[in-house]
Amino acid sequence: MEKLRTVIFADHDALARAVARRMAEIIRARAAEGHPAVLGLATGSTPVGVYRELIRLHREEGLSFAGVRTFNLDEYYPIAPEEIHSYHRFMREHLFDQVDIPASQCHLPRGDLPRSEVAAHCAEYEAAIRAAGGIDFQLLGIGKTGHIGFNEPDSSAASRTRLVTLNGITRRDAAADFFGEANVPREAITMGVATILEAREIAILATGEHKAAIIRRAVEGEIDTEVAATFLQRHPATTCYLDEAAAANLTRIATPWLVDEVAWTDDLAVRAVVHLSESSGRAILKLTQRDYADHRLSSLVAGYGSPGAVNGMVFNRLGAKIRGRSKLPRGERVICFSPHPDDDVISMGGMLRKLVLNQNQITVGYLTSGNIAVFDHDVRRYLDFLGRLAAERALATDAVEALTERVEGFFRRKRPGEVDLPEIRDLKRMIRESEAVSGIETLGLPRSAARFLDLPFYQTGKVRKDPVGPADVATVRRLLDEIRPSLVFVAGDLSDPHGTHRMCKEAIDRALEGFAPRPEVWLYRGAWQEWSVTEATWLVPLSQEELALKIQAIFKHQSQKDSAPFPGLDEREFWVRVEARNKETAAMLDRLGLAEYFAMEAYLVAG
């Protein structure tokens, strides 16, 4: 069913290494032939890992870029090359300034030209690619609309480098980088579909579960002008490089029994029977031989002997996942690692409440300050309060006034996405910290349970962070050494808009290497997606009162309420998402014919 060659990797790092190795092979092969390699490059979070690996190959294995020519896919318009969101700046910071490539050999569309000159510039860009001999290897990402470059829905297969108007979904997806959709440019200059398809080899990269739906459409769907990535099916040498999350909706992964014979295991049988139950609208224990035959699952019945045997096995395995309070840890040392100062209550507020009632010793380790997700107007509100308090209580009025003047002066000249002054970042950090303490107190934890680790990788003041380094790992390890937990909760929700969850998990995983005795690790989700009932190891029921208390804890995060700075594509408030997802997990079990609960949280025990 796959119309593009597709390679799946265990994680983002393995994918990045494979793509970088292929690019290195091309660079070296072309150099041996006496010709410069011509690379088409992309921006965004997914290629960053590739660029880091290319830099490592340059520094440690002598890979030279001296003879390489590069052409970037696109650039926002209008935007100056030095602007913080400019792709010119992105490429310098993430690759060009770290290797031995001359600046004259790096080509990017210009976003700072007068509109009257853009058409001629686009024609010159096409001519420069032809003069270089064409692109040997084109690196692509894929947008949620299926765009490649900025070739939005309705782009022609014959399109060339040009100025385009950005789709609303694309602008919303970029809002996190620009600190709000209103700041995202409405236009961009992009290579056209035809330009891309002329590359001799193409690699399209996708990571994360939020790309799974569009990847299936691009790989298995029909060619459609609404999804520009489907045009790649016409290219003879295109490869999709995916991590497991991005590949999850491909037929061979989601429903492999529809593709070929499979070796049935109990886990695979559970997935198949749940899929059958959903497709047929029948509860598990009511599925018949005819249901299995109609959905190409006769071999499953044959393996277990009868429909009743399969139904019973799956029903019992799903039922065994349900863990009420009596089956949860009691009297243990527990660490909940929260990437931002609200992920704990958003994703596992019900669990935290149950663990409190079970008299566990709980520490909540907030890994980052979350300060970039605080609006400037919240800082103004708190400064106004400080000013009033100082005036009425005869406190240090001069100090408050001086701080207010510095902050207001900066805000008056601040550009979208500009890094805040250190004192403003501190104010925003303290706002998030006070909200986090209030949130866990709502669930019955003491304020002493909150530990603010403020990992260094996050402290750039920008949406894009530094790589996770030894200092981050050491900070996490110190808390592990101090608490010596038997159970650790980690965010396994990797679809956050700016990658912080993934980076925090990396720091924790590295800190746990060699840690003994190793605690049991439970992965939670909830802010963006939830574990399915087939993926989850444990399903934890929540009563109506427990869900209400969890929502109250989420409400304490006032700086994130009403309109969070980084909502992703789901514009609902976090508490609304949580309520819907927790109730849907319970409703799913009900539809499958198991016990009916009000709501549920789901957890995956890490292997």
Structure tokens at 484: 């010596």
Single out the residue of 530, 548, 527, 550 nearest to residue 539, CA to CA: 530
Active site residue 152: yes
Phi, psi of 481 (to 5 degrees): -65, -35
Say whether 255 sits in a helix, a strand or coil.
coil
On the 0-12 / 13-18 / 19+ scale of CB atoms within 10 A, 61 is exposed
Cα 471 to Cα 88, 302, 359, 458, 468, distances in angstroms: 30, 55, 33, 12, 8
Single out the residue of 570, 578, 607, 600 nearest to residue 169, CA to CA: 570
CA angle, residues 97, 100, 102, in degrees to nearest 5:
80
Query: Are the C-beta atoms of 567 and 552 separated by less than 8 Å?
Result: no
Q: Report which secondary-structure segment, H or E, holds 202.
A: strand 201-206
Residue with tokens 């965010």: 491
Bridge partners of residue 242, in order along the sequence: 8, 206
Query: Are the C-beta atoms of 600 and 347 separated by less than 8 Å?
Result: no
Crossing angle for the helix pair 343-357 and 544-555, to the nearest 10 degrees: 130
A 10 A CB-CB count for 405 gives 11
Instruction: Give the strands of the sheet with 361-366, arranged side by side.
Output: 450-452, 361-366, 333-338, 487-491, 520-524, 599-605, 538-542
DSSP string of 346-390, one letter each residue: HHHHHHHHHHHHTT-EEEEEE-S--GGGS-HHHHHHHHHHHHHHH
Rounded Cα–Cα distance for residues 466 and 54 (Å)? 17
* Helix residue spans in 95-188 (DSSP H): 115-131, 168-173, 175-178
Structure tokens at 593: 């014919």
Which of 53, 83, 152, 201 is flagged as catalytic?
152
Which residues are known catalytic residues? 152
